[in-house]
Homo-oligomer: A and B are copies of this chain.
């Protein structure tokens, strides 16, 4: 199968652009704007033109249309992700925010305390929906850290039991990788311990695995091994899987099968979700092998640059697809602009330090050529 890792359409008829796959190494050929490699996103960041082309190709068949986000390609996408995680079933959600919210709300039931990381998305970036709309009390652990420990979990639960009013901890939500912490992963060992303890106490486990497959790629731990520790896992369709929007929440059938009612109550029952689900399904199986190739290319690219004094690329401890790159130059903005002119986007630096993200747009370019562009842009 050939998978589209689109070039931007720069005047060429699209029909004449071969699909880009990991075995092709193409850089647009005809000039700077032809190449489109970015270090700013987790996914391909398809533009509307590319996206529409893809939809036209993949959404034309039978049994695509869904009905209020059920059936059709939505159902097939759900089944695919459930299978990837080794879980019984899955349900589409319009956003990860809603997936996390609906999951922890249902897990908690009347035990309204939920343990979370202080730097997690659900605690910082959701407008406090869990608290405001679901009346949950999110207890932040591990201030300024990526992982919390079983000890910290036990202490939080014990403190609760000492309170004058018994308030059950209904769920533990773990985000991994953690966006606010440069996509670092939560310690797998602690996950295992916490999961065992939680299950012995009847506390439910939820994984905000928006970018779980990045953790899988970097840790070598299979997605199913992660999933086996949790009652529910949310995966973003928007990040690694290139859908314009969308999320999928995986878990036991008894947990997910009536969730479309709750999804609708929150205003997430979209009449048609096939424009998202079809794209995520398209990339579901290919993300991991493509990303392995992207990592390989990034390693070659890094080795070339690290041989030079002006560059220093290094791993982040417990990191995944975010790296640290120091560039020695007095003209950092010139450097950025020259690369941009070649179709290479870097994230905004803090002084001369960048945190580039690896993603599958690296499949669009030969790593030696890419390194060459970087070196040239310093001149």
A-side interface residues toward B, CB under 8 Å? 9, 47-49, 51-53, 55-56, 59-60, 64-65, 93-95, 97-99, 101-102, 109-110, 112-113, 124-129, 131-138, 140, 143, 159, 162-167, 238, 244-246, 258, 261-262, 264-275, 278
Contacts and interface: CB of A to CB of B under 8 A. Distances in A.
Contacts of A53: 56
Contacts of A109: 109-110
A59 B48 contact: yes
Contacts of A113: 128
17 contacts: A47-B65, A48-B64, A48-B278, A52-B55, A94-B94, A97-B264, A97-B265, A99-B267, A125-B163, A126-B164, A127-B163, A127-B166, A132-B265, A133-B134, A137-B138, A238-B272, A266-B266
Nearest to A124: B163
A272 B262 CA distance: 23
Contact of A275 (B167, B238, B244, B271): B244
Interface of A is mostly: loop
The 3 closest A-B pairs by CB, nearest first: A98-B267, A127-B265, A127-B165
Nearest to A49: B60
A274 B243 CA distance: 12
Nearest to A43: B271
A268 B94 contact: yes
B133 A133 contact: yes
Given A52-B55, A133-B266, A137-B132, A127 B261 contact: yes
A136 B129 contact: no
Nearest to A54: B52
A165 B48 contact: no
A54 to B, nearest CB: 9
A267 B159 contact: no
Contact of A127 (B131, B159, B262): B262
A131 B137 contact: yes
Contact of A135 (B56, B133, B159, B238): B133
A126 B266 CA distance: 8
Contact of A95 (B101, B138, B261, B267): B267
Contacts of A165: 125-128, 261, 264-265, 269
Contacts of A271: 95, 238, 244-245
A68 B310 CA distance: 37
B245 A270 contact: yes
A128 B112 contact: yes
